[in-house]
Amino acid sequence: MADIIHLLPDAVANQIAAGEVIQRPASVVKELLENAVDAGADNIQLIVKDAGRTLIQVVDNGKGMSFNDARLCFERHATSKLSSADDLFHLTTKGFRGEALASIAAIAHVELRTKMAEDSTGTLLLIEGSEVKEHTPTATTDGTSISVKNLFFNVPARRNFLKSDSVEFGHIEEEFNRVVLTHQELAFSLFHNGKLVLQLQPSNFKQRIVNVFGAHFQDKLFPVEQQTDFINISGFIAKPENAKKKKSEQYMFINRRYVRHPLLNYAVETAYSELIPDGYKPAYFINLEVDPATIDINISPTKVDVKLQDERLVFGFLNSTVKKSLGQMSLTPRLDFDYEPGMDMSNMPKDMELKEPVVTHNPDFNPFHSHPASSGGHSSYGGGSYSKPSSSHNTDFDTSGWSDFLQSLKTETVQQEQTEHPTLDLQPAAETEEKAPVDDVKCLSINKKYIVANIAGGLSVIHIAHARERILYEQYLTAMQQKPITVQQSLFPETITLSPAKSEMVKELKPELLKLGYDLESIDGTHFAVNGTPVDEEEDVQQVIDAFLESYQSNMFLHRADKESNMAMSMAKQKCNMFKPMTEMCEIRDFLRQLFDCQLSNVSPGGKKIIHQIGENEMEKWFD
């Protein structure tokens, strides 16, 4: 019988490979930009027409190619970046598979002009559907210009599959962003249909982010930084209040390569889970540096999906670094005390030095670590740890064991930090005299809903209910973890009735409810005797418990929080509106003191903003 197996012609093999590497115009953009970066260019232009359907051109001032290399670069597995399998473990370049240009040339009309600085003439090469049409010396500038025209001219299925110009150009911009964000030291420009879309000068990372995404990002970002022997983490995360419901700007780079790694994304997002509402996404721009030998970027043709040797370790470092930054972020509001010029100081001791009290904080303090209530005695709510075991979150990954791992990672540093609790340099209200500086924060309650105070040199508007929710939340966590709320036993217990599902929940949560001050005893399936309530509680227990369970249940279904956080969150939500309006100035100041003693004071546990700050500059603008 005749043999039927034969090798595919190169042009066909390349076209098949192109199916994997080049899915749409944006894929060409990625490959050409990466080649330009690998060629050592410091100025790179991307010129696009009709969202890449008609033209994608990349012009660089890099090292260029010799006459022969200009031809060879279009062969499959032709690369200058890898010579032995061993090199795969020490990669510093973006490309290495040597298949991008061969793939592109198989499905488009390509024009290459290139020249090395040391050569007197350059090279022109025209290639269409893998067929070389021209290969001649030509006069051209140093560097390389590659034009890709009529993409998918011979693959109608792909061409027809392309989306609208705006969608395709969106993908192109995304690829462009990924490259420019990794190389802030290089200049880039992007033109579409003859118009300059973006021009980027060499800058630092933060400026680059702002230049790409707009000036409004300037104040949204907060730095993340962690250097260890094993991993370096740097970059910026967006403040929780800037999280977006739709897709957010999320960029993770490993060794200066954009990567898509669901586990690492999860490490960042879980750090925020308590601070932003469900379904919202935080923006982040994070660079990880690890030993190239511990990472496999060879697992997908587009090299976006990577495999890390020690995922758990990276997860742990990343998660705690982001948490630490979020903690520091919440400590940034600074109480600002202005003295009245005509203030009466007659009853002050003569030798007393007048000092402006400031909120001091240790920048390395990590509020997610557990530590006992501060020794200064001014914090009634400050002590609780509420780091959550990761395994309770809804996830596609096996997270079992992470919480233990994360815990072990933390305990090492907890010891040192216990003594360095951030202190609000204030005295407890009870020990403070009327005219002492602590009570000199200027504040005002408006419509029983807001407090306006002079904080951080500007005006801060504080949402009372959101702030109360935060204070209560931390208080309840402390109650469950360290210091239960005192129960006031009732002589004649009232009875509450719950649905069968809620009754089951109460039975399960009984020990924790007791720590929150509710002593409930099951009478039969759905009736409970209320043997005790939190001391000073005047609310209707039936209503509080019903609403609490409602909220607990929905949080549970949404997989938002572990048991204790969920309970604290649900109880705080019920109680935050049940307080009498504050009328006395000392009450308001005490409330502010409690808020700033919280481990996070600018977002409610449900992710709502607590403080809106208006700086002097902004005020100035009102009157321009």
| Residue 221 interacts with Mg ion (CB under 5 A): yes or no | no
65 contributes a contact to ligand ADP by CB under 6 A: yes
What radius of gyration, in Å, describes the C-alpha atoms of the chain?
Answer: 31
Angle in degrees, CA 216, 222, 224, rounded to 5: 140
Q: Does 35 bind Mg ion (CB under 5 A)?
A: yes
Tell whether residue 31 is a contact of ligand ADP (CB under 6 A). Answer: yes
To Mg ion, the closest distance from the beta carbon of 21 in angstroms equals 10
* Binding flag, residue 385, ligand ADP (CB under 6 A): no
> What does the alpha-carbon distance between residue 281 and residue 269 come to, in Å, rounded to a whole number?
7
Q: How far apart are CA 311 and CA 463, in angstroms?
A: 40
Minimum gap (Å) between residue 399 Cβ and ligand ADP: 35
Tokens 């490490």 belong to 267
73: partner contacted, choices ligand ADP, Mg ion, none (Cβ within 5-8 A by kind): ligand ADP
Neighbours of 20 (CB within 10 A): 13
- Using alpha carbons, list the distances in angstroms from residue 309 to 133, 292, 296, 391, 611: 46, 10, 8, 21, 42
100 binds ligand ADP (CB under 6 A): yes
67 DSSP β-pair partners: none
Question: Restricting to residues 128-187, which ones interact with ligand ADP according to CB under 6 A?
Answer: 144
Which is it for strands 443-446 and 423-424: parallel, antiparallel or unpaired?
Answer: unpaired
CB of 35 to ligand ADP, least distance (A): 3
- CB under 5 to 8 A by kind: which of ligand ADP, Mg ion, none does 148 bind? none
Instruction: State the number of binding residues for Mg ion (CB under 5 A).
Output: 3
Question: Rule CB under 6 A: is residue 97 a binding residue for ligand ADP?
Answer: yes
Interface with Mg ion by CB under 5 A: which range of 32-40, 161-169, 448-456, 533-541?
A: 32-40
Alpha helix stretches (DSSP H) within 83-148? 100-106
**How many amino acids of this chain bind ligand ADP (CB under 6 A)?**
23
Q: Is 533 in the site for Mg ion (CB under 5 A)?
A: no
Q: Which of 18, 22, 26, 39 binds ligand ADP (CB under 6 A)?
A: 39
Residue from the set 45, 79, 123, 182 that interacts with ligand ADP by CB under 6 A: 79
Residue 553: CB minimum distance to ligand ADP, A: 53
Neighbours of 169 (CB within 10 A): 20
Shortest distance (Å) from residue 300 CB to ligand ADP:
14
How far apart (Å, rounded) are the C-alpha atoms in residues 527 and 521?
9
Q: How far apart are CA 575 and CA 584, in angstroms?
A: 21
The closest residue (CB) to ligand ADP is: 95
Nearer to Mg ion (CB atom), residue 98 or residue 428: 98
The nearer residue to Mg ion, 39 or 480, going by C-beta atoms, is 39
Nearer to ligand ADP, 70 or 264 (CB): 70
Which whole-number Å values give the CA distances from 154 to 50, 75, 159, 183, 284, in the listed order? 18, 19, 9, 34, 40
234: which strand partners?
Answer: 225, 287
The listed partner (ligand ADP, Mg ion, none) that binds 604, CB under 5 to 8 Å by sort, is none
Nearer to ligand ADP, 41 or 283 (CB): 41
User: Among Mg ion, ligand ADP, none, what binds residue 589 when CB lies within 5 to 8 Å by partner kind?
Assistant: none
Does 96 sit near ligand ADP (CB under 6 A)? yes
Position among 29, 36, 55, 600 found at the interface with ligand ADP (CB under 6 A): 36
Part of the chain binding ligand ADP (CB under 6 A), chosen from 33-41, 235-243, 519-527, 555-563: 33-41
Per DSSP, the residues of 153-205 read TT-HHHHHH---HHHHHHHHHHHHHHHHHH-TTSEEEEEETTEEEEEE-S--H
The residue among 312, 418, 425, 424 whose CA lies nearest residue 366 is 418
Partner from ligand ADP, Mg ion, none contacting 26, C-beta within 5 to 8 A by type:
none
Residue 28 in contact with Mg ion, rule: CB under 5 A = no
Q: Which of 8-16, 28-36, 195-203, 408-416 is the region at the interface with ligand ADP (rule: CB under 6 A)?
A: 28-36
Site string for ligand ADP, 557-576 (x = CB under 6 A): --------------------
CB of 121 to ligand ADP, least distance (A): 16
**78 is a site residue for ligand ADP (CB under 6 A):** yes
Encode burial over 558-594: b for 16+ CB neighbours within 10 A, e otherwise.
Answer: eebbbbbbbbbbbbbbbbbeeeeebeeeeebbbbbbb
Identify the three-state secondary structure at position 305.
strand
Judged by CB under 6 A, does residue 22 bind ligand ADP?
A: no
Strand pairing report for 519-522 and 527-534: antiparallel
Distances (CA, A) of 280 to 399, 553, 605: 21, 20, 14
Is 270 a binding residue for ligand ADP by CB under 6 A? The answer is no
Q: Which one of residues 25, 52, 62, 422 is an interface residue with ligand ADP (CB under 6 A)?
A: 62
Does position 124 bind ligand ADP by CB under 6 A? no
HSE-up of residue 606 (Cα within 13 Å, Cβ side)? 19
Helices (H), 24-113: 25-38, 67-72, 100-106
Identify the residue whose tokens are 């599902």.
Answer: 501
User: For the window 81-120, what string marks contact with Mg ion as x by the rule CB under 5 A?
Assistant: --------------x----x--------------------
Is residue 47 a contact residue for ligand ADP (CB under 6 A)?
no
- The Cα 458–Cα 454 span in angstroms is 6
Among 14, 21, 61, 95, binds ligand ADP (CB under 6 A): 95
CB of 337 to Mg ion, least distance (A): 59
- Residue 170, classed as helix, strand or coil, is helix
Does position 111 interact with ligand ADP (CB under 6 A)? The reply is no
Question: Residue 251 Cβ, how far from ligand ADP at the closest point, in Å?
Answer: 22
Who contacts 554 (Cβ-Cβ below 8 Å, separation ≥6)? none
∠481-483-488 over CA atoms, to 5°? Answer: 125
The answer to whether residue 329 forms part of the interface with Mg ion (CB under 5 A) is no
For residues 35, 38, 42, 46, the Cα torsion angle rounded to the nearest 10 degrees is 10
**Residue with smallest beta-carbon separation from Mg ion:** 95
Helix (H) or strand (E) holding 606: none
Q: Where are the alpha helices (DSSP H) in 23-92?
A: 25-38, 67-72
Which conformational region is residue 413 in: left (phi greater than 0), alpha (psi within -120 to 50 degrees), or beta? alpha
The answer to whether 44 contacts ligand ADP (rule: CB under 6 A) is: no
Residue ranges that bind Mg ion, judged by CB under 5 A = 35, 95, 100
Residue ranges that bind ligand ADP, judged by CB under 6 A = 31, 35-36, 39, 60, 62-65, 73, 78-81, 95-102, 144
